[in-house]
Amino acid sequence: MGSTSGAPPPDPTALVREVTDARRVPGSVERVLRITNGEPYDPEAAALALRDDPILAARLLGLVGSAATGLRGEHWSLEHAVNLVGRVGLRQLVTTAFALNLYRARDPRAVAIVEHAAAVAALCRYLAVWYGLPPEELVSIGHLHDSGRQMLLEHRQREYRELLKRVHDSGDELARAERQQFGVDHGALAAQAFAAWGLPERLCEVVRLHHDADARADDPDTQTALDILRVASALVRSVERKDSADARDEIVAMVEAQRLEIGRRQLEVAWPELRTVVRCARRPQGTEAAPIEDAEAALVHPSMPPRDSLASPPRREASYAPPSVWRSVAATAAVAFVAGLTLTMIAIGRRELAMAGVILALATAILVARRRPAERARRTPTPTPAAPTVSARPPAPKGA
């Protein structure tokens, strides 16, 4: 039962202890984290540790081939996946795989939570590349930022369902109602549980603060990760709206977007791609598994805008043209100038100079004509050889 108006919020200590005691970090996860933190790093030992936990290994393979990581490829061996993502990526993905296995999305509300988190994770990765943060770390943050809501659905199911009926907003308004009723919001609850389980400090900090509008992180990279998470979460709710212009204005007005230097023009350029990212990351409603497992590895779209389309004013405005175009324009202008000068010489009776001008104009035109095929040849992309076949993914064990 929620607290009455003016009464102090309840003590969340018992709830936090109940959540943290209900789950334990598997030994395989602890071994992988020790290996990735140790020197020298041994990827073979990490792969062997993962083989001891088939469910975790299957989840990791699903993440490596998923939409949120942006890695193309439908089939990965465990050893190939470990080498592909590297030490930092493996640590982050194992953390995400462990946390995603904590709660199964059977309830329709839980399905909606994991679908939203999958879309946020994909956008976090999309933005992380532009701002120089590890993409795998932002993928983990995006996937796990709303895990506290799943914890509340499991450990305070009746009270939390009643709360969700009263509060339809999924952002700061919901967090305030959670603090009033449970003494802690879902971000702080998940952060305390993650810290108790030994998950990365930055992950815990960003998850804890993501619904505290006035909070600022001490570390600049942590603050940037927090801003990216807030903007990505708002974008997921906005890109599907019909009033795209109003939705973009609301994003641009966010303090976090201003700190990231995201402007209206940049959002207009990136909007179709942002919508594609969100749609690719989602799954049909009503599925039990987390949406990341079967998501298509299709987010590295060939038309995806470059980094400067959001982080700085776009360079490719109407006045932009490739260097080869400017060279052709300059050569054409030179021919026109020489031709005009030749006509002037003829008009004033200087036939010798006029003849020299005609010869110069013809020579310039011949040089331009010979140069254009070479320019076209340079601009034609060289066919890329096919990637080597990757060994097939091992069959998923029962119950994975």
- Could you give the CA distance from residue 280 to residue 119 in angstroms, rounded to a whole number? 8
**Whether this model's pTM surpasses 0.85:** no
Those residues with Cβ within 8 angstroms of residue 91's Cβ, 6 or more apart along the chain or in another chain = 32, 33, 36, 37, 200
Same domain? For 250 and 119 the reply is yes
Closest to 290 in 3D by CA, of 5, 135, 97, 47: 97
Same domain? For 304 and 327 the reply is no
Query: Average pLDDT of 82-100?
Result: 80
The residue whose two tokens read 């992988």 is 32
- Which one of 119-123, 325-329, 334-338 scores highest in mean pLDDT? 119-123
Q: Position 28: which residue type?
A: S
Which range of residues forms the domain containing residue 351? 323-377
Asked if residue 368 belongs to a domain, the reply is yes
Query: Average pLDDT of 233-262?
Result: 89
Closest to 239 in 3D by CA, of 125, 123, 380, 105: 123
- Could you give the CA distance from residue 271 to residue 239 in angstroms, rounded to a whole number? 7
Same domain? For 273 and 341 the reply is no
Q: Is residue 292 within 8 Å of 62, Cβ to Cβ?
A: yes
Same domain? For 295 and 358 the reply is no
Asked if residue 52 belongs to a domain, the reply is yes
Same domain? For 88 and 21 the reply is yes
Asked if residue 1 belongs to a domain, the reply is no
Same domain? For 271 and 334 the reply is no
> How many domains does the chain divide into?
2
Each residue of 338-368: pLDDT tens digit?
A: 677 767 767 677 667 667 767 776 776 676 6
Identify the three-state secondary structure at position 297.
coil
Alpha-carbon dihedral sign for residues 28, 31, 33, 39: negative
Q: Which residue has the higher pLDDT, 332 or 382?
A: 332
Asked if residue 365 belongs to a domain, the reply is yes
Q: What is the pLDDT of residue 308?
A: 44
Each residue of 267-303: pLDDT tens digit?
A: 888 898 888 888 888 754 333 333 333 333 333 333 3
DSSP of 96-146, one letter per residue?
Answer: HHHHHTTS---SHHHHHHHHHHHHHHHHHHHHHTTTT--HHHHHHHHHHTT
What burial class does residue 126 get, using C-beta atoms within 10 Å of its C-beta: 0-12 exposed, 13-18 middle, 19+ buried? buried
Q: What is the pLDDT of residue 24?
A: 80
Listed in sequence order, the DSSP H helices in the chain are 13-22, 27-37, 43-51, 54-64, 78-100, 108-128, 135-144, 147-155, 157-166, 172-182, 186-196, 201-209, 220-238, 244-253, 255-259, 264-281, 308-311, 323-347, 351-379
Closest to 321 in 3D by CA, of 278, 370, 375: 375
Asked if residue 356 belongs to a domain, the reply is yes
For residue 3, what are its two tokens? 């607290």
Task: Tell me if the bond preceding 385 is cis, omega within 30° of 0.
Answer: no
User: For a pLDDT cut of 70, what percent of the chain falls above it?
Assistant: 69
Asked if residue 132 belongs to a domain, the reply is yes
Report CA dihedral (65, 66, 67, 71) to the nearest 10 degrees.
-20
Q: What is the pLDDT of residue 70?
A: 55
Same domain? For 362 and 220 the reply is no
42 pLDDT band (50/70/90 cuts)? confident
Same domain? For 299 and 356 the reply is no
Residue 314 burial (CB count, 10 A): 17
Asked if residue 395 belongs to a domain, the reply is no
Q: What is the pLDDT of residue 297?
A: 33
